[in-house]
Structure 1
């Protein structure tokens, strides 16, 4: 993937993510985007499309406030070597894409139910047991009619894994996006979710490093 293609994919991910999370509109920067999230531990995210060392050092140097996060699409070792001990890495991540098409989501397992709803441009899928206990969830959003769909917050309760619920949620969300005209999808995946996404046809296009400012006590 060329640098311009990666930048365009990151922009699509950013645009859909802010819709999904209800964050502020992204502000374009020379090195990427700034997003005000507004949560105590996630006040602001700085998403770097220029992952060069000078850009990382510059943004990190100006973002030394608790609650600030950096998102960089580079190998973790390269990024972490540029930052001091006051920056703490989150779990490794991956930027992934897929061509979207309608697929049969599969049957809801016995003893479970699936609900979907759309509000504010975000479609959510929730799987619970018949008694209402949480089993799995996820959501999908788009940053505009011509933009890729962004899959977000896929989660399966530990006791409900390996039952096909992750695939059920993903295909349900994918079908909802296809019905709205989306042809491609983007997501930021974790190591736990990567195998599921790859089994469903998603591919990794870049590493995703997430670090947050966490000053150490003297």
Structure 2
């Protein structure tokens, strides 16, 4: 695991995620960023700009202690085993860490950018975000993903493969198509916040872990 702790990677991820999800511009805080998302179950998120051992317990406790609204999320770039004791019982915490990951971007060879037999690949760009979709022969969604280019950085987001179409290389295809498109737009570095399920895929494509990620959600009383 890489031990680099760079605030600019977190900010790049925040900016790219905002572009990808069409969220509000971030409010810069002394400890990181507040982003208004504005959807049910995900109203606002607070992202801490430190990673690993540089994350300050006092900052997390202060921010978490001020939250009173369900649908508020915390994104903390440290292992849940470290951060969970800093949060109260009103917080749901994913006990498996996600990962902040990066990779130098490069175009893939043309023969690796085509769908396998029985599948159809389509990509398009709108609002600065490139989207890729793979469908099966019957038109069902097999895999998808999107990437937002912000300056020299591209943030991959919402990478998904349907359960019945996994282990067929479709996730790798989506990632290669997105990385190539971002590189063609001038991006040099890819960044993503990956789930435990996605970790193996991203690692196989050369992505490296910068820091683990704690995701925590403030629960309404009826959810506790």
Using structure 2 for the length normalisation, give the TM-score.
Answer: 0.92
Q: Which runs of 4+ in 1 moved over 3 A?
A: 215-218
Indicate conservation of the 8 Å contact 1:85/1:216, yes or no.
no
Q: Which runs of 5+ in 2 are unaligned?
A: none
Residue 149 in structure 1 maps to residue 154 in structure 2 = yes
Deviations 1:7-52 (A, max 9, x none): 1100000000000000000110000000000011000000012421
- Residue in 2 that maps onto 1:112: 119
Equivalent position SS for 1:16: helix
Indicate conservation of the 8 Å contact 2:114/2:121, yes or no.
no
Q: 1:97 to 1:178 in 2, by over 3 A?
A: same
Return the offset for 1:57: 0.6
Matches within 5 A, 1:60-79: 60-79=64-83
Q: Which runs of 5+ in 1 are unaligned?
A: none
RMSD: 1.3
Indicate conservation of the 8 Å contact 1:15/1:142, yes or no.
no
Indicate conservation of the 8 Å contact 2:130/2:148, yes or no.
yes
Using structure 1 for the length normalisation, give the TM-score.
Answer: 0.94
Return the offset for 1:92: 2.3
Q: What is the number of equivalent residue pairs in this alignment?
A: 214
Equivalent position SS for 1:123: strand
Matches within 5 A, 1:28-177: 28-50=28-50, 51-90=55-94, 91-104=96-109, 105-143=112-150, 145=151, 147-177=152-182
Distance 1:211 1:18 in 2: 18
Distance 1:138 1:2 in 2: 27
